Every structure is written in C-alpha cells, then in structure tokens.
Amino acid sequence: MHNVTVLLHHIVCPTKYRKVVFSEVVDNALKDICPEIVIRYEIHFLEIGTDKDHVHFLIQSYPV
C-alpha cells in the first residue's frame, strides 16, 4: 500500500495592535530569512505575502 500526504498550513501573523510596520524593507528582510528556516525545519514556504499590518505564510510540510 502506498500513501501520499501533503500538509498545507495557512498562517496569518498580525502585528501588535494592528500597527502598520511592514514596509518593503521589512518584506525583503523577511523573505531573506525564510530560506534559513526551510533548511532548519524541513518545511517549504509556498507563498509569503505581507500587508501593512500582517503577514501571510502558506507552508508545506511532511508528516513525521
């Protein structure tokens, strides 16, 4: 028997008090940090999106 499982997680992280903090500089820094997280935790970021007061991650992981 063969099983294939793919887990997708949509994570939304708002800022404290929904303050506007995500600028283009912060967005680029966030996208530079994510590849290091991929190596460390064996997950894959399919989408990374920021708005002025929150960030969205679409993450793919595999069951252990």
HSE-CB for 23 with a 13 A CA cutoff: 2
* Whether 63 contacts 5, CB under 8 Å: yes
What is the pLDDT, as a whole number, of residue 46? 95
What is the pLDDT, as a whole number, of residue 5? 79
What is the chain's pLDDT, residue by residue, as a tens digit (64 residues)?
666 778 999 999 999 988 898 899 999 999 999 999 999 988 999 999 999 999 999 999 887 7
What is the pLDDT, as a whole number, of residue 4? 77
Cα–Cα distance, 50 to 5 (Å, whole number)? 28
What is the pLDDT, as a whole number, of residue 42? 86
Residue matched to tokens 């999106």: 49
Domain 7-61, CATH 1.20.1630.10 — does that match?
A: no
Cα–Cα distance, 45 to 32 (Å, whole number)? 12
pTM, two decimal places = 0.79
